[in-house]
Amino acid sequence: MIELPSEARVVNVGLRMFADAVAAQGAAVVQVDARPPAHGDPELVRALTDVYAADLEAANAEVLRRLDREVPYVVDVRPAMEVVPGMGDRSLLHAGPPIAWAEVCDPLRRSMRAAVVAEGWADEPGTAERLLTSGEVTLSAANEHDTVVPLATALGPSAPVWVVDDPAGGTRAFAPLGQGSGDVAWLGRESPAAIERLVFLRTVAGPMLKEIVARTGPIDTFAIAAQGVQMGDDVHMRVQASTGIVLRTMLPAIAALGGDSADVAAFSAYLSANHLFFLTMAMASAKALTLSAGRVPGSSIVTTMARNGTTYGVKLAGDRRWFVADSPPVEAALFHPGYGPRDGAPDIGDSAVLELVGLGGSASAGSPAVAAFLGGSMADAASATAETRRICAAESTRFTLPTMDFRGTPLGVDVRRVVETGITPRVNTGILHVSSGAGQVGAGVASAPFAAFRQALLALARAHRAPP
């Protein structure tokens, strides 16, 4: 005779309703949440099976090594036309995947009109609009030119850019100088002041920063970013500490500019007020590393992630194709007074490159400023980083989180893990007004669209599928 146990202890895996039914009868039950991988989509499950069967580990290890270990340096500041490969005389570079004028979102249109006027191709935004509509100005994805631009930046040929070298990778990347806050074109403004700021960058800030970098010598931006992460920067939404360190590094060269001239006064006021100054230095640095990592074929690691306000594009290492989906809204947002979710344009900017090297959303756990967007407590920020860890293949050895007892930030978004878990990278970013030209109206967190990663995984599976 079989003796029945006097009580049952139940472990339920999966649908919670079974656990609830057991609990309702007064029995002990442990609920283990489990969902089928890849939303249970048979095509994706098959693709995952194929991709896991392929041996990507050596390629991935090399990609991760480059992202984690190579060292980018700011070495120069130059007008884009002098250094950016393939930059046309009458072209503007923008964030995200390639896009036609007709599809360009409102804040980016405004920024493009401002850039056309600043370049001297038109007298005012109305004329600029006609040039853009007629196709006389070429639009081109900055990423296709080894360049990354933040938010709604439109980068003309005369605009000064940070030149960043990754000596180990043999790559060189570019990003524009930060335009500062307020009434500025990269936030979707086309006012006279916004256009004036673009001219100031070209005529004053660019040449002065070129002189400062020459005097200071190559700037190890990620050594600065690593200190910044110890000081509450996620080095995306918040770069206050890193900015302080880089300005202190530059201080002797700034003071040596000399003269009580109006230009020096305007330049130093621009530096002093620009709490995001380091952002584009970090972006160009991250791009130099992802360019190097992107040369490794046959990897499942994401090396491009960029949005133009209309579409969101992803690339894998070793693959030149964009995998594109609609750009999502920015959520977990704090809006400026008087603005709300209906005012926000879809996610825009190339700054998500920072999330590919262990910064931004990966570093949320260390940033009180970012925590404010994620529920207000540091536990919320820790959860964001913990979730990112689930879709990353490694941990940074240079960016470590004091709040996690100096554990490295998650590094190397693996498309396999994204599809398997259904978790997409979360990017800390600003929010621009969708239509009014008001500029920045808030900041928040945007989750990358699953559809782009789905396409990338399917393409990877096709490339690695064993012949039948």
Which of residues 14, 36, 340, 368 is near a second copy by CB under 8 A?
Answer: 368
Between 3 and 405, CB nearer to a second copy: 405
Work out the angle at residue 190's Cα, subtended by the Cα atoms of residues 189 and 194, and round it to the nearest 5 degrees.
80
Read off the amino acid at residue 286: A
Residue ranges in 379-408 that form contacts with a second copy under rule CB under 8 A? 379, 402-403, 405-406
Which of residues 5, 26, 259, 337 is near a second copy by CB under 8 A?
Answer: 259
Q: For residues 160 and 359, give the distance between their C-alpha atoms in angstroms, rounded to a whole number.
A: 25
**Is residue 249 close enough to count as binding a second copy by CB under 8 A?**
yes
Between 11 and 386, CB nearer to a second copy: 386
Which of residues 271, 276, 356, 392 is near a second copy by CB under 8 A?
Answer: 271
Could you tell me which residues come within 8 angstroms of residue 164 by beta carbon, excluding any fewer than 6 positions away? 72, 73, 74, 75, 172, 173, 174, 175, 221, 281, 284, 285, 287, 288
Between 356 and 382, CB nearer to a second copy: 382
Between 168 and 404, CB nearer to a second copy: 404
Q: For residues 251 and 417, give the distance between their C-alpha atoms in angstroms, rounded to a whole number.
A: 44
Q: How far is the CB of 36 from a second copy (least distance, A)?
A: 36
Strands 392-401 and 348-349: unpaired
Which of residues 40, 42, 258, 337 is near a second copy by CB under 8 A?
Answer: 258
Q: How many residues bind a second copy (CB under 8 A)?
A: 39
* Cβ contact 364:381 at 8 Å: yes
Q: Binding pattern to a second copy, positions 315-354, x when CB under 8 A?
A: ----------------------------------------
**Is residue 248 close enough to count as binding a second copy by CB under 8 A?**
yes
**Is residue 218 close enough to count as binding a second copy by CB under 8 A?**
no
Between 378 and 459, CB nearer to a second copy: 378
Nearest by Cα to 112 from 96, 91, 97, 98: 91
**Is residue 231 close enough to count as binding a second copy by CB under 8 A?**
yes
Between 316 and 365, CB nearer to a second copy: 365
Q: For residues 291 and 273, give the distance between their C-alpha atoms in angstroms, rounded to a whole number.
A: 32
SS (H, E, C) 109-171: HHHHHHHHHHCCCCCCHHHHHHHHHHCCCEEEEHHHHCECCCCCCCECCCCEEEEEEECCCCE
**Is residue 210 close enough to count as binding a second copy by CB under 8 A?**
no
Tokens representing residue 392 in the block? 């990353």
**Is residue 358 close enough to count as binding a second copy by CB under 8 A?**
no
Q: How far is the CB of 240 from a second copy (least distance, A)?
A: 7
CA distances from 461 to 47, 56, 251, 295, 349 (A): 5, 11, 52, 19, 29
Which of residues 31, 191, 230, 455 is near a second copy by CB under 8 A?
Answer: 230
Phi-psi region of 422 (alpha: psi -120 to 50; beta: other; left: phi over 0): left
Which of residues 31, 181, 240, 447 is near a second copy by CB under 8 A?
Answer: 240
Q: Which stretch binds a second copy (CB under 8 A): 125-133, 171-179, 180-188, 250-258?
A: 250-258
The DSSP call for residue 54 is S
Instruction: Using the CB atoms, write b or e for 204-224: b if 16+ within 10 Å.
Output: bbbebbbebbeebeebebbeb
Q: Binding pattern to a second copy, positions 286-315, x when CB under 8 A?
A: ------------------------------
Tokens representing residue 261 in the block? 């001239």
**Is residue 181 close enough to count as binding a second copy by CB under 8 A?**
no
Which of residues 317, 371, 434, 446 is near a second copy by CB under 8 A?
Answer: 371
Beta bridge partners of 407: 401
Read off the amino acid at residue 235: V
Between 354 and 382, CB nearer to a second copy: 382
* Cβ contact 443:333 at 8 Å: yes
Which of residues 369, 374, 427, 458 is near a second copy by CB under 8 A?
Answer: 369
Q: How far is the CB of 247 from a second copy (least distance, A)?
A: 6
Read off the amino acid at residue 392: C
Q: Which stretch binds a second copy (CB under 8 A): 55-63, 115-123, 137-145, 225-233?
A: 225-233
Q: For residues 108 and 134, give the distance between their C-alpha atoms in angstroms, rounded to a whole number.
A: 17
Which of residues 251, 321, 341, 462 is near a second copy by CB under 8 A?
Answer: 251
Q: Which stretch binds a second copy (CB under 8 A): 92-100, 144-152, 301-309, 366-374?
A: 366-374
**Is residue 443 close enough to count as binding a second copy by CB under 8 A?**
no
Between 85 and 402, CB nearer to a second copy: 402
Could you tell me which residues come within 8 angstroms of residue 395 by beta carbon, excluding any fewer than 6 positions away? 358, 389, 407, 408, 409, 410, 411
Give contact residues for a second copy (rule: CB under 8 A).
227, 230-233, 240-241, 243-245, 247-249, 251-252, 254-260, 264-265, 267-269, 271-272, 368-369, 371, 377-379, 402-403, 405-406
